[in-house]
Amino acid sequence: MPDFDVLEPAIDPNNRVSFLLDWELTMKCNLDCSYCGTGLYAGHDNSTKHPPLAECIDAIDFMYRYVDLYISQKPKGLRYVVLNVYGGESLHHPNIVEILQSCHEKYKTYQDRWHLTITTTTNAVINDRRMAEIIPYINEFTVTYHAENTDKQKSILQNNILKIKHANKRLKCIVMMHPDSHRFIDSQQMIAWCRDNDIKFLPKQIDHNPKAVEFNYDKKQTTWLNKLYDGKTYKTFPTLKLQTSEEKFDLSDSGRACCGGRQTCQDQNYKQRHYFVENKFPNWYCSVNEFFLYIKQVNGEVFVNKDCKMDFAGSVAPIGNLRDADTLLETTKNHLRNKTMPVIQCKKASCWCGLCAPKAKNLGTFNSIMEKYRS
């Protein structure tokens, strides 16, 4: 259990608090990493079809209308929205250019009310022509590096990263730190390449089910990660749980850093920041719905967040479906207008994406800290 009662994102002009629209455009992927599960509710599923263009266009309408309801309740300094188009591998959707064009066109209705950044999380293993078509429509690229690749795929990725950089687009490379000894070194070499080419990077531990011990880190790797995280915070790791039989650490079970590299503050101490924090918040009250939305385009399900998937009744379930978008929008509108929006109480074993959403152990404290995030 955490040794603090409140967790909030640190104030950082370079990493402002925004509303993240996570749009899982397609589940098809051109990579097949061992730590990315397969199936409808895993990281990718090549047995599915790419969602039709018309349905994707309708989803953009829904997302913008939905986020507009929440943003209208926020102070002007927090009226920032990030649309993350990802998959699977979203850039392999056959209609990706038309979809991105529509994202820009439909935003014009809202451009005087909130600021939009269109980003994509991509493995960047795509051909030159497709990359050239896409670059004009993306404000910021998050390129993920996976060590389970071929030399050719690695070369394509690095060349595309340089093309994005030369196009003066905002860019960061998320390096998945693979615990296999050889692949961990490969990941470190990718970090060195990013440094040499002045590319912003963020090493990321692999989140996983506690039973998947093959993704635990050995002592040397943990020391390396500890030193890295410690250089970004005022505090080192919390007490790590050592798998004595394996002599490996399950960092995913012990804690994590924010996916976007955001630092956090504990117990309203805004002068002290933390980068790696314990990530277990059973029965805590969380504002994840006020900062996230996750759309699973392949079946239309709408969740508050891609990892926790909590609903407002204390279950892990969608809050609606794109097939009934108008009802969900009207329900949300009425709750926000009447200030009756239910508060999500966490029932998950670990917090992954959504860690940076303000949360508190006590409901009264939660309501108090949330006043600054609402107008």
CA 294 vs CA 140, 203, 320, 349: distances in Å: 19, 24, 11, 20
**Among the ranges given (262-276, 280-294, 327-341), the one the predictor scored with the smallest mean pLDDT:** 262-276
Mean pLDDT of the chain: 92
pLDDT digits (tens, 9 = 90+) for 8-61: 999 887 788 899 999 999 999 999 999 998 998 889 999 999 999 999 999 999
Tell me the β-bridge partners of 210. none
Q: Where do the structural domains in the chain lie, given as residue ranges?
A: 17-216+287-350
DSSP 354: B
DSSP 315: S
Q: What are phi and psi of 298, to 5 degrees?
A: -60, -30
Burial string for 61-92 (b: 16+ CB within 10 Å, else e) reads: ebbbbbbbbbbebbeeebbbbbbbbbbbbbbb
How do beta strands 344-345 and 359-360 pair? unpaired
Grade residue 103 by pLDDT with cuts at 50, 70 and 90.
very high
pLDDT digits (tens, 9 = 90+) for 209-263: 888 888 999 988 988 887 777 665 434 444 444 444 456 777 777 788 888 888 8
Return the higher-pLDDT residue of 335 and 250. 335
First to last CA, the chain: 32
| Alpha-carbon gap, residue 336 to 282, rounded angstroms | 26
The predicted model gives 317-337 an average pLDDT of: 97
How do beta strands 359-360 and 6-9 pair? antiparallel
3-state secondary structure of 123: coil
Residue (of 115, 163, 122) closest to 141 by Cα position: 122
Let me know how long the chain is: 375
| Alpha-carbon gap, residue 261 to 257, rounded angstroms | 7
Q: What are phi and psi of 295, to 5 degrees?
A: -110, 125
Give the pLDDT of residue 231.
64
Q: Domain 17-216+287-350 falls in which CATH fold?
A: TIM Barrel (3.20.20)
**Among the ranges given (112-121, 140-149, 240-249), the one the predictor scored with the smallest mean pLDDT:** 240-249
CB 84 within 8 A of CB 22: yes
Give the pLDDT of residue 264.
93
Give the pLDDT of residue 236.
42
